[in-house]
Each structure stands twice: as C-alpha cells, then as structure tokens.
Structure 1
Amino acid sequence: MAVLTPREGADARRTAAEDPGPGSAPPPAESGRRILLVSRDEHLDSLLARRRIAAHLGDLRPVLEAPDEPPPHVVLVCDDEGATERLRASGVPVVHLTSGHRPPSDPPARLDGVLHRVHRPGWLPDPAPDPVPGATDARPTGLLAPARTARRRKREGTLLLLSAWNVPAAEADTFAAETVPALVRAALRRTGRCDVVCDTRLEPIRAALAGLGDDRRVRVRRAVDVDVDTLHAEAEVFLAAPTLGAVGLARARRAPLAFVPALGAAQRDLAAQVRQLVPIPLVDDPEHDSVWESSDDAVPWDVLDPEPDDLRGAQRVARTLRQLALAPL
C-alpha cells in the first residue's frame, strides 16, 4: 500500500501558487494581474472549490503571499475567515467563499467589507431560509463543477472519497477502523482496485488498511496531493462521503454515486437534503449490489432539473474575481 508523508495540522493551508492543482497548467507568465488564492488543505470542499475556480481565471496569475512580493490585485479565500479578515485589512479586494455545506445550526458568520459567496447549487434548499442573528447574507454560487465534465470511456477500480474535516476524532477513528476496511475489501472483490482519498486523519486509515493490498491495488492519499476530479473520471465506481464537492462531481458528470456513512452534523444534514431530492444509494451494506452499480443512469440526476447555468458556479466566481482585479469596488 502506498504511504505518503502527510502534512497535517489545524492551520494547514496553501495557495494556488504553491499548489495550482495536479495536472493544471500555470497561467501565462506575462500576466500583469495577480491573484492570491487561499484554501484549507484539510478541508475537501475548500480544496476542490479553489481548484475548480482556478481553472477559469484566464490570465490572472496566482502569486504567493510574501513580504518581498507586491500585493495581489484580488484575493479569493475559501473558508479561512482569519485569512479573510487579515487580507481585507490590507486593502486588497477579497472574495470569501464558504465552500462546504453548513447545517442550520451552524450558518456562515457575517463578514463585512468583502464579497461573500456560498457554494450552494440552485436545486439545494437554503439550510437556513429564515434570518439568523449574526448570519451572513452571502450570495449562492450555483454548483462548483469540475472543469471537465466527461469521464473516460474505459474506467476501472473504485474511488473512495472521504472527508474527516470538522468531524469528532472518536467518530472519525471508529469509521476508519471499522467501516473503511469493509468498503475496501468489497471494492477489491468487485472492481480489483481502490483509491482511498481523504482530506485529513489519514494515519488511522493507513493503519486499518495495512496488509489489504499492494500499492497497485490499494492507494491511500491525501486529497491535496492528488487530482480528485481526474481520479473520478478514471474510476468505475464512486463511493463518497456526503460533501458538496463529491455531489458536484457526480451531478456534473451524470455519474453513479453512493454515499458512505456520514460523519459529523454537516455531512448528515447534506445527505438527508440531497436524498430528499434524488435517491442516492447509501452504503449500509458493502455487499449489496446497488452500491456497485456503475451504469450512467444509476442515479436519476435529471429529477433535479436545474437552471441552465447552475453548473457554472466556478465560472461565475472566477468572473467576479477577474472584474475585481480590473476595477476594484
């Protein structure tokens, strides 16, 4: 089993200049307008949101935040409210994106002096339709879809996409020790290979999977170290934690999806809301045939009937950033 050295910690984050995303090409060096893109390494939705928006920035050039560098013309911060406050105080135009689902009991905080966006598809109900004291009036983006919506014709293996962000440690460790090995064993029997990708707390997963297969059959990697969207395009079966990033992948590509048991309040709330609209299978029993259904019509995404441009959330945010870089508010 492949073992990669994790870079974990509560404050782990990187900019697009450090990590433009596996497989993505840097923008032209001659670009005059600079952009700082910040996301949290250990939050799957945050990472995927930044990468998907970065794919549509045109000639804006990602830069590092450094004392000897000129300030950027515009900043996108995904989820890191501390970074947003600090960068706003420096006088740079900031777009703050809340990338992951938030249950009604935990609405995004109000952020003054910035443009606040929240990742929410048009078909997903507002989790807090009634005003909450201190909550934000952020504008929804629509779905942040991957830049490429096609999957490979020849697909193989299983992608198991997990998120332990903001999940109680005991709950995440129990899931890693008991649920993940059962899922991987079933994936190996059904599809011959399994890529396990998680945003944080990988060591318990690696320990639980030790000895299940060599690195050609079982690979365990951090989300920040791989191109999640490409792995999905290559996989025959997609099992995922209930996150907006995972739902966006399957919805945009009209691909099969099965939810693994939800961890934490946000995942449980999102799974319940999405499954009220579309019957996504739950992986209660890894041996059940419905979990391994890989046909394109396994999930009836057509029932969502979105607005024509709802899949263009990443382009919409990128357009706002380009406009701010040219003409700050």
Structure 2
Amino acid sequence: MALLNPAGAAPTAPDGGGAAGPRVLLSAREDQLDSTLALGRVAGHLGDLRPTGWSELEPPPVAALVCDDVAATERLLTLGVPVVHLRSGPAGTPAGEAPPERALVRLHRPGWLPPPAPPARDARLTGVLAPRRTGRSRTRSGTLLLMSLWHVPDTEAEAFASGALRELVAAALRHTGSCTVVADTGLARVRAALAEHPGLRVFRAAECDPDALHADAAVFLASPVLGAIALAQARRAPLALLPPLGPAQRALAEQVDEVLPLPSADDPEDPCLWAPAAAAGPWHLLDPALDDLRGAQRVARTLRQLALAPL
C-alpha cells in the first residue's frame, strides 16, 4: 500500500495560528500515472486537513482518500477508517478488484466523454480532475513527455521504448533543446532505451510534480490517459497523444477521438509537433455545459465531509 504526502513536507497549522485540522491518510498506486496525478490534484484542495502517512505510533486518521488501490481501501475499512475511493482511470481496475461496498466511490470521468459501460457500482462521476494552478510559465521551453506503462504487456512496452520513444526523444532534443520524460513504471527499461541521450531528464511520476513540469514545458506529448488529457484541457494547452499502449489506453483513445481531434505524436519529423500554436487545441469544441473542471475540488469536499462527520 503506497501512502503518500504529496505536499512533500510536514503538515502545518492553517493560517491564523489555530490548531491543525483533522488527519487524513492519502494513498495511491505509484505504478499508475492516472492514480498519482489524481491524488496530487485532490491534495491541493485539502485546506486545513492534514495529509499523513500510516503510523503505528499515532491514532488512526479520521478518514482516507485512496486512489485505485483496492487492497489499501479494504485494509483501512477493516481498521475502521472511512474511505473515499477514487477510481482515476478508464476501465483499468483488474477483474475481481471492485471497491468495497462500504467505501464512497468516485470515478474520474469528464462530462464530455460517454459514461463508462457498465458504470461502476454506486460510483459518482467527478468531472475533470484539473490541477489547482492552471497558469503556464511565460518562458516555457523544452518538451515534457508524460507516459504510462501501467498494465502494458512487456513486449509492447519494450518495442515502444526502443523504437518510437527513442525517436521522439531524439527529435525533441533537436527541435526544442531539452526533454523531460516522466513515467509511472518500467523506469529501468525507459532509462536503458534513452541512455544515449546525455542531459535528458527521466523521472518517476510518483516522485515528481508532472503538473508543475507541464507549466514550464513548451511541448507536451502524453499517453492517452485521463490525467494527461485533463491537464492539457484545464490549461487550454496543445497536446499530442503518444501511440496508445495496452487495451485501456486504446479504448480511451478511441472514445476521445470521437469527441476531440487531438493530434498524434506518431511522426517525429512533423514540424507541427515541435512548434504548436501558443493556445492550440480543440478544447473550444467541448460543450461548455459538460466542461466541468471542478472534479478535484468535489472529491476534496467529500473527503472533508467524511473527516468532519464520518458515516
């Protein structure tokens, strides 16, 4: 069970010098990009709630937010901790791992996408999980390549890393001067494939802030996962999708393509890939009535209610 404190520092008392708020435990699957992105975005709206990790030396937290990790949710419920269980990706929960009935289940799903079929049991849709800060640096430069290898077969992941990924990174370095690669899992494979490129930065998604890296990048290439698409949508930023890997990514890419004509990063020599317009993107095509970016606030509000008045 991965227990995270996305703030990266000890919790502090809220402004005004009062006592710190209730302790809430935060947990996500570190090997799943959507899961770590979702947790970080909700954590940005916790207010005076104190994010904490598990400690046998302290009383149990008053509530918990768990992203995708069914085993963590089950353990916490057994210990008597009420849980908001957030499913943050499309059709990615392995068979037999439905969230426990006692958890409050939320599902990251933009309103402009058709609802999942079949819908998760008693799950409420969140809308888009957007980053707390939607501004971008005026001096942004270089390329951010945000990729997910979660539940991708080894042979497919190896072929992508040694082929298309290597070519895209080489082109990014030539055209934009720098490149940062962020991946959720398979880091050893990725680093080995890209070892010939000195100066390239490679990070594990759970150990960095992809949203902040995106704010500083001029070019954004990403796997077709909801967290990455939500990031570009919230900032009305250009996005080119990497080739979908694995069944979950392919299913989502097909659904998105029916609504949004996002470009594909399948030709490293395409000049449009490396010099996108400042505000390029098809985001204006979305129905404003379905373009709800408040998903992270909504989940944080549910966690706050659970912390202050447990069921």
TM-score by length of 2: 0.93
Q: Is the 8 A contact 1:27 1:58 kept in 2?
A: no
What is the aligned-residue identity percentage? 57
Partner SS for 2:254 = helix
TM-score by length of 1: 0.88
Q: Is the 8 A contact 2:38 2:67 kept in 1?
A: yes
Partner of 1:5: none
Unaligned ranges ≥5, structure 1 = 1-10
Corresponding residue to 1:323 among 287, 305, 308: 305
How far did 1:58 drift?
0.6
Note if 1:185 corresponds to 2:167.
no
Q: CA RMSD in A?
A: 2.1
Q: Following superposition of structure 1 onto structure 2, how do residues 48-197 of structure 1 map, counting pairs within 5 Å?
A: 48-102=37-91, 109-128=98-117, 130=118, 135-197=120-182
Change (3 A) 1:280 1:104: farther
Partner of 1:207: 192
Partner SS for 2:212 = helix
Unaligned ranges ≥5, structure 2 = none
Partner SS for 2:144 = strand
Q: Is the 8 A contact 1:278 1:303 kept in 2?
A: yes
Partner of 1:302: 284
Change (3 A) 1:168 1:126: same
Partner of 1:37: 26
Separation in 2, partners of 1:168, 1:289: 31
Partner SS for 2:288 = coil
For residues 159-195 of structure 1, the C-alpha deviation after alignment (integer angstroms, 9 at most, x for no partner) is 0101001111111111111111100111011101100
Aligned residue pairs, count? 307
Partner SS for 2:258 = helix
Change (3 A) 1:108 1:121: farther
Note if 1:274 corresponds to 2:267.
no
Change (3 A) 1:309 1:295: closer
How far did 1:104 drift?
11
Separation in 1, partners of 2:96, 2:252: 13
Change (3 A) 1:106 1:119: farther
Partner SS for 1:254 = coil
Q: Is the 8 A contact 2:70 2:99 kept in 1?
A: no
